[in-house]
Structure 1
Amino acid sequence: MLLFGLFSLILVLVFWVNKAVSLLDTMMGDGQSIAAFLKITSLGLPILIADVLPITAFIAAVFTVNRMSSESELIVVQASGFSPWRLARPVLVFGFIASLMVASVTHILGPMAQHELSVKQAELSRDVTARLLTEGTFVHPVTGITFYVREIPPSGELLDIYLSDSRSNTQRTNFLARRALIVKEDDGPVLLMFDGESQSYNVQSKKLAVTTFDSFAYGLGDLLGSASTGTRQLRAIPSQELIMTPTQIMTETGATRVELRKTVHERMEKALLATVAPLIGFAALIAGGFSRFGLWRQIFLAFGLLVVVKSIDSAAISAARRASENWPLLYVPILAGLAIAGVLLWYAANPNVLRKLPPRAAGDTP
């Protein structure tokens, strides 16, 4: 358990830093504070932890068995009469504890964090809209967009604005207007410009088209990535609600009962993987027997088998997400992992079963 906690902390920090670096540049470029950055990244930790814990449980089991073997503790225990099946019992208990941790994250903490994350993203979207209201400064809310407003009087109007949209490789558009307003619509904020002109330049033909207008509406929803928090997604709903109130959830999200069932089983499968992974690591190492040169071949075999199980897991998840009716396939990697561990433990208990029998002498009878 101590090694499991240590490896989990290290891997979570590594993956968190890897994701946080790119997010930090984006949020700092949007003028967000460090507090907002830390809150966004911390809300993404539960999903990251649920993905990491099965791997760290596997590493902890492999590391412990390898150390016990190198210090001859495993040999002493086996010599006292303990079978591989009996030795696998504490590993199974450890895996069950790890599964409970993963289940608490996938069924409860993860969905709650996803809901808070969607709320926070909606707040940040509104903050980005507010960043456009900066007098006398050229702002760049996203790549390819430049916005400028000369003055914002107490009435709330925007006086003398400039908007440049160069996100397209074939066309660049500039808007100039004497005054404008930002209004909220269902699909996001809209910039209403009055008494202005648009300049559209075609990069390929090198032609400029100028159009004057009395009023023009420019949608900012796609530009600012507006988010709605009125309807929750399935990933943001705890499993208890999916099981206890399926009718209300289907009405709220528009999902089918099969999709709800697939979501719950996908979370259960991720938790069960934390039990299977350490069993595979333990079984692969104990099946190799004692060696003065260590258990490096068995360690590489254990990692290879884990990669195989994870590959089956990825294929099963992809099949279930393509068609929710395929949710029973989610348990194929669990069954495959248990089968692999069972075969290895059986071989460890019967090490001579695959060895060649000595050849019979000429006069021997069968």
Structure 2
Amino acid sequence: MGRYDRYILSQLLVLFGFFSLVLISVYWINRAVDLFDSLIADGQNLAVFLEFTALSLPQIMLTVLPVSAFVATLYIFNRMISESELVVLQTAGMGAIRLLRPIIIFGLVLATLVSILAHVLAPAARSQFNDRSVEVTQDMTGRLLREGQFIHPTGGVTVYIRDITELGEFRDVFLQDRSSASSETTYVAQRALLVRSEAGPRLVMFDGLAQTLTPEDQRLSVVEFDDFTYDIAGLIEAPDSRRYDLGELSTPVLLAADPDFAAEQGFQRKQMQFEGHSRIARAIFVLMVPAIAAATLMLGSFSRFGVWPQILLAVTLIIPLQITWNAAEAVALRDGGHVWFVYAQPALATLIVTGLILWSMRARRPRRQVAA
């Protein structure tokens, strides 16, 4: 690796890391706000919130890294043009392919990183995220452990706890169950405990009474009790077995698309195959992203007015690539579609890079003087 390659790569990696950190922070904060509303408001603690936000990072990185690589490459080559470094290198005899060699190496590094994220880290994080979501959904403790508030853990049920001791004992408990249309029961207890059993969580109340109102005849029945167990497992609406989603399945499973497994999980085979091939196509595409930015700016030269036309062209070239991806997804998933259309985007990106390189080489080729 020559001095030029090391210089460009070092600059690219530094700026790529900086832009990635900024963009990931922005996306992470946006994601964290949504998770904060759904978790903290549901009674979960800060540790659960941080765990969920950390598990969302691999998917955020998959979205952000290509953008960071594109912006970093534009910045580096724009600076090289403004400081006449690119003109000097081209005058010294460096061709377009030689100038793009560190960009291709950077693209290979980026493609490797995206492949690891897409095939390993993102599915593992997604699987863990879904498992923890089920656990949090089934955790009625987080929903009930809020003292001094009237809460509604599910429809027709209202719970109020005046105080919670350090040992986890509830003081002055009010529970109203209006889930049945034939009766309405209100429980009042001096203290209560939340215990776990094989059949699910139970609320054990001590020294209280139960008032049952029958709406048909407006009859009120009052029963005092020393201890009473209220089954709150029925308040948890969760399936016996969790279904998978496409994002957490491994790439070999997606590519194989076993018909029995797909039918069991409610997937279509073409959906599974498209998801698997899209992970491969994404890694190929990001290889071309920095090359498009660099090759486009190589079309320009030093100018006091800058190279904004070339930058605008580079950004414009990304738009049809995104349109191609959306169209390929629609075609691949429709009836009779083929999943191989997912590779249309990286193929078009390769054609664009090839065309830009040929255009740059032709623009730099000296014209022959015509003899008079």
- TM exceeds 0.5? yes
- Relative to 1, partners in 2 of residues 1:210 and 1:94: Cα closer, same or farther, differing over 3 Å? farther
- Report if the CA contact (8 A) 1:189-1:219 is conserved: no
Q: Matches of residues 318-333 of structure 1 in structure 2 within 5 Å?
A: 318-322=330-334, 325-333=337-345
Candidates 343, 347, 357, aligned match of 1:335: 347
- Report if the CA contact (8 A) 1:57-1:278 is conserved: yes
Per the alignment, residue 161 of structure 1 pairs with 175
Cα offset, 1:142, TM superposition: 7.5
Per the alignment, residue 54 of structure 2 pairs with 42
- Report if the CA contact (8 A) 1:313-1:332 is conserved: yes
Candidates 16, 25, 30, aligned match of 1:18: 30
- Report if the CA contact (8 A) 1:234-1:253 is conserved: no
- Relative to 1, partners in 2 of residues 1:69 and 1:237: Cα closer, same or farther, differing over 3 Å? same
- Relative to 1, partners in 2 of residues 1:21 and 1:237: Cα closer, same or farther, differing over 3 Å? same
- Relative to 1, partners in 2 of residues 1:211 and 1:248: Cα closer, same or farther, differing over 3 Å? farther
- Relative to 1, partners in 2 of residues 1:26 and 1:134: Cα closer, same or farther, differing over 3 Å? closer
Per the alignment, residue 284 of structure 1 pairs with 296
Cα offset, 1:325, TM superposition: 3.9
- Relative to 1, partners in 2 of residues 1:315 and 1:256: Cα closer, same or farther, differing over 3 Å? closer
Q: What is the number of equivalent residue pairs in this alignment?
A: 330
1:176 matched to 2:184: yes
AA aligned to 2:185 is A
- Report if the CA contact (8 A) 1:160-1:179 is conserved: yes
Distance 1:149 1:176 in 2: 19
Per the alignment, residue 53 of structure 1 pairs with 65
Per the alignment, residue 317 of structure 2 pairs with 305
Candidates 89, 92, 97, aligned match of 1:77: 89
Q: For residues 4-56 of structure 1, what are the alpha-carbon distances to aligned partners after superposition, in whole Å with 9 as ceiling and x for unaligned?
A: 11111110011101121232133221111111001001101101101111111
Distance 2:360 2:102 in 1: 17
Query: Which structure has the higher relative contact order (CA within 8 Å, separation 6+)?
Result: 1
Cα offset, 1:254, TM superposition: 5.5
- Report if the CA contact (8 A) 2:73-2:290 is conserved: yes
Per the alignment, residue 285 of structure 2 pairs with 273
Candidates 275, 285, 305, aligned match of 1:293: 305
State the SS of the aligned residue for 1:283: helix
State the SS of the aligned residue for 1:287: coil
- Report if the CA contact (8 A) 2:257-2:269 is conserved: no
- Report if the CA contact (8 A) 2:43-2:142 is conserved: no
Q: For residues 198-256 of structure 1, what are the alpha-carbon distances to aligned partners after superposition, in whole Å with 9 as ceiling and x for unaligned?
A: 87xxxxxxxxx999999xx997456xxx3666443332122245458957855864545
Per the alignment, residue 115 of structure 1 pairs with 127
AA aligned to 1:176 is E
Q: Tell me the TM-score normalized by structure 2.
A: 0.72
